[in-house]
Amino acid sequence: MTNQENKTVIFNKLASEYDLWFEEQGKLVFDIEVSAFKEIMPLLPEPWLEIGVGSGRFAHALGIKKGIDPAEGLLKIAQNRGIEASLSSGEKCPFEECSFGTVFLIVTLCFVDSPDLVLKEAYRILAPKGKVVLGLVLKDSPWGKFYEQKKLAGHRFYKHAIFYKYKEITKLLAHSGFTLEKIVSTLFQAPQKVRDIELPREGYDPNAGFTVIVADREK
């Protein structure tokens, strides 16, 4: 069984538990992250697609109508939220070239085996001047270090994650044909000490627990 297949099995088996996090201990974190995305949504051309749509939490909150994911258990939850969600991996999207105005990858790159292939697929299915939007917990942030500890401790989800530094992400984007347009940073409260809603800040900040990057398809 490949690493990707192992991850899919885990997310299928624990789909309900994963989704429940957004309503319980992760609710305020989720609200803060959604608020950051809402800052940039008016800039994004439609139609929209989320790769790694999971249980559809972000898609539903942001008005993204279509998504793909390799975990059937999560897809069923997304479909119940009204998302047109289908079974597929980001490395091989079932769409024609130039099909979308914006492709979202929200906490997805850390769970795929080949982030470069996923970004190249996003480029392929985007229309000229389309945009890719990344939602990231960066490795060199306080939250990235927190989740790295969970990974080392064998956490059922994070043991499969690979977190990336900011410079690694910008290199991946450039190598895939994207140019940076806008960055929004949020989640400055420490892990396990999130008590208040936060307003997002413009630009990259290494102290942010969550970073939203908008990049343009060059041609």
Nearest CA-CA partner of 71 in 85, 59, 60: 85
How does pLDDT run across 55-89, given as a tens digit for each residue? Answer: 999 999 999 999 999 999 999 999 999 999 999 99
Fold exhibited by the domain 3-217: Rossmann fold (3.40.50)
pLDDT value at position 19?
A: 93
Is 80 exceeded by the pLDDT of residue 99?
yes
Predicted model pTM: 0.96
To 5 degrees, how large is the angle CA 217–CA 144–CA 150? 130
pLDDT value at position 20?
A: 92
User: By CB neighbour count within 10 A (0-12 exposed, 13-18 middle, 19+ buried), where does 81 fall?
Assistant: middle
pLDDT value at position 3?
A: 62
Is 60 exceeded by the pLDDT of residue 39?
yes
* Position 98, amino acid: C
